Amino acid sequence: MAAAEIYIQATETDPVVIARTALGKKHQRLRSRLVELTLVEPSDGADQAPIADLAAFCRHELREYLAAADRDLETAASGPVAERLLVDALRIASAALDQQINDLAVASASESIRIATMIAGALEVYLRVEEFVRPALAELSAEGETGDAPAVIDVRQIARGGRHPRVFARYARLAPGETFVLVNSHDPKPLRREFEAMHPGAFSWDYLQTGPEEWRVRIGRAAVDA
């Protein structure tokens, strides 16, 4: 297999993978429990999950999870703009879910079915948002441990699906005139085409090394964005 075709998957050392793995376990538990309790239209005499059990789950376990998640976000909520925006997105989803839990507490039996369905949908939205936000915050935190993001990003150490997003996230944090170095196992031409489409005239792209086994490119934000 050619060197350019060998990809090193991120493992337990990657903060994004760590955050995503921990979230996956928690989310699976919440999803499974809600499935057990969500009211379903009866068919052939099938029983409905008790409304009281569903309400109790929402008021206690689900709300406790949301409160704990919000406490974890306190530091990021007062951090850089990129982190605050991620936290805001998650808090908006949490607020919508919390309101529906309030509605369930005062709903009639007939309304409970509709509200339970809405809660299931709102929870899924919240969990999907969290599955994006948490790893992104973990990544930003890891980059900021030394007071600044690293000057070199070796994408060979990043799982393939996360390479381009990681590079664009780093570019977004550059001040005008700042640069970083991208290291890859092949010429990153597809990435350059994405930059040209998304940031035409606003970035610099300078090859420092062109193979045969390693490519290095200095990527920067133009002193004055176009």
* Domain edge (last residue) among 143, 171, 206: 143
Enter the pTM of the model: 0.55
Same domain as 156, residue 134: no
- Banded pLDDT at 145 (limits 50, 70, 90): very low
Question: What mean pLDDT do residues 166-178 have?
Answer: 83
Per residue, the 3-state secondary structure of 17-52, as one string, reads HHHHHHHHHHHHHHHHHHHHHCCCCCCCCCCCCCHH
CATH number at residue 204: 3.30.110.40
Phi-psi region of 78 (alpha: psi -120 to 50; beta: other; left: phi over 0): alpha
Is 200 contained in some domain? yes
Same domain, 166 and 134: no
Q: In DSSP terms, which residues pair with 218 in a beta bridge?
A: 181, 206
Residue 143 has pLDDT above 60, yes or no: no
Instruction: Specify whether 25 is located in the same domain as 48.
Output: yes
Task: Let me know whether 201 and 97 are in one domain.
Answer: no
